[in-house]
Chain A
């Protein structure tokens, strides 16, 4: 079993709609969580950190469920520019142990 698992998608989303997807992790000692965005195999870019109480950044909402060991990302009012692959990242504060999911592809259509 992979340490971090994501539904690869693609999630095809009409412009203006809401899309949500999860990422599950296997290491219960994981302490920090992030969502990254990656376009066409360019470098991943930090979208947002994920905090225990959940957090929002504009149209993006991230949640953490420690009991079930998953994090989620919700995108509201999807824009064409949101089309990308979203990578889930977890870390247990061990400096070599960032675990990346393989990514969830989101395609926003007009």
Chain B
């Protein structure tokens, strides 16, 4: 029972590089979310998706791009990484609006 997985789990990159974080869920959940978590800020929503090909911005979308061509995958791309994007990134999914979210194990990203 894989549930929701993220890859890579750890990533170090340099300023200006493009980075893609992967998220895959096996529950066929309609809703998927990307959050970042920084000390002092808690979880902040970057992007979310209600279904394949339906995405929308969250609280902190600048510098990020998402796509969702298949229900089970929701990749997050940092187009040109900046040091301020050093963070822990969590992907989550939910079966219905208002239902609890289930989180992946996170990706720790460091931008040098």
Q: A-side interface residues toward B, CB under 8 Å?
A: 31-32, 34, 41-46, 49, 87, 89, 91, 93-96, 98, 100-103
Contacts and interface: CB of A to CB of B under 8 A. Distances in A.
CB-CB nearest 4 A-B residue pairs: A102-B42, A43-B103, A100-B43, A95-B97
Given A41-B37, A44-B90, A103-B42, A94 B106 contact: no
Contact of B100 (A46, A93, A96): A46
A94 B99 CA distance: 11
Contact of A98 (B45, B56, B88): B45
Contact of B48 (A46, A96, A103): A96
Contact of B43 (A31, A34, A87, A94): A87
B82 to A, nearest CB: 21
Contacts of B58: 96
Contacts of B105: 42-43
B106 A93 contact: no
Nearest to A97: B45
B95 to A, nearest CB: 11
B103 to A, nearest CB: 4
A93 B98 contact: yes
Contacts of B74: none
B42 A101 contact: yes
A94 to B, nearest CB: 7
Interface string B28-52: 0001010101001111110010100
Contacts of B43: 44, 87, 100
6 contacts: A43-B105, A45-B103, A87-B42, A91-B97, A93-B98, A96-B45
Contacts of B99: 32
A10 B42 CA distance: 15
Nearest to B41: A102
Given A96-B56, A98-B33, A49 B100 contact: yes
Contacts of A44: 43, 90, 103
